[in-house]
Amino acid sequence: MSAVQNQRNRARCRTCGNEIPEWANGTCYTCLDYERKNRGVALKPLFKKPPTVTAGRQRSENDCYSPHIYQRVGINRLLGDVYQRAYQISLILRAHHLSEQEIQMLQQQYLADYFDQLMAQLNRWFADILPLRAAAILIRWYALDDKPKASLHKLQQQYQYNALELIQIQRESLKRLQESQHKSKLEQIIVNTAKTILREQ
């Protein structure tokens, strides 16, 4: 069997979409690592079926699919803190009249493209409305750079602030995002990015 055929035959996790190597015997260590780092909280299924290559994002045989796990969890945590209740991207998309079919297409086919563009837009916007260091801390706080959520200890080492100062910066940043005009802009970025992705396909 050729290397390309072997790559094609690899299984994918039905929860996160990552490839599962043959030696793992069907166990997705990405999901296990996520569960371990989040105190036993399992990642909610992202796909109803294993992801396939779509016209929207052609991948080479050696391209590892990235489901943006940390960003996906982090943006919903940020929305929950901004709206002070459980909140998700899908709720914003529904509120702005995207259909269930369009939301499912984003989740199942264009998720990587969507998060690539959404995070680029949010990072630029944060830098416009917040002090640069506060924007950088907010991105690390909510894992919007698609790395594991930074602990206070790591943030203290990186930015040379004590824990109370970091918490104050995070609260002040949230307070700014909670202003009505900034809430509206946040929703606008989330919705317009989704519409752009769907329109391009």
**Nearest-angstrom CA–CA distance, 194 and 175:** 26
Name which of 199, 182, 194 is nearest 79 in CA terms: 182
Q: How confident is the model at residue 65 (pLDDT cuts 50, 70, 90)?
A: very low
Matching residue, tokens 């699919």: 65
**Nearest-angstrom CA–CA distance, 136 and 145:** 10
Name which of 161, 128, 122 is nearest 142 in CA terms: 122
Asked if residue 33 has pLDDT above 50, the reply is: yes
**Nearest-angstrom CA–CA distance, 148 and 13:** 20
Mean pLDDT for 121-125 is 93
Cα end-to-end span (Å), the chain:
34
* Highest averaged pLDDT of the listed ranges 13-22, 152-161, 170-179: 170-179
Name which of 200, 29, 19 is nearest 116 in CA terms: 200
Indicate if the alpha-carbon torsion angle 82, 33, 117, 128 is positive or negative.
positive
Q: How confident is the model at residue 200 (pLDDT cuts 50, 70, 90)?
A: confident
Q: Identify whether the C-beta of residue 19 lies closer than 8 Å to the C-beta of residue 67.
A: no
pLDDT at 86: 87
Asked if residue 61 has pLDDT above 80, the reply is: no
11 vs 135: which has the higher pLDDT: 135
Rounded to two decimals, what is the model's pTM?
0.66
110 vs 201: which has the higher pLDDT: 110
DSSP secondary structure, 86-131, as one string = ---HHHHHHHTT--HHHHHHHHHTSHHHHHHHHHHHHHHHHHHHS-
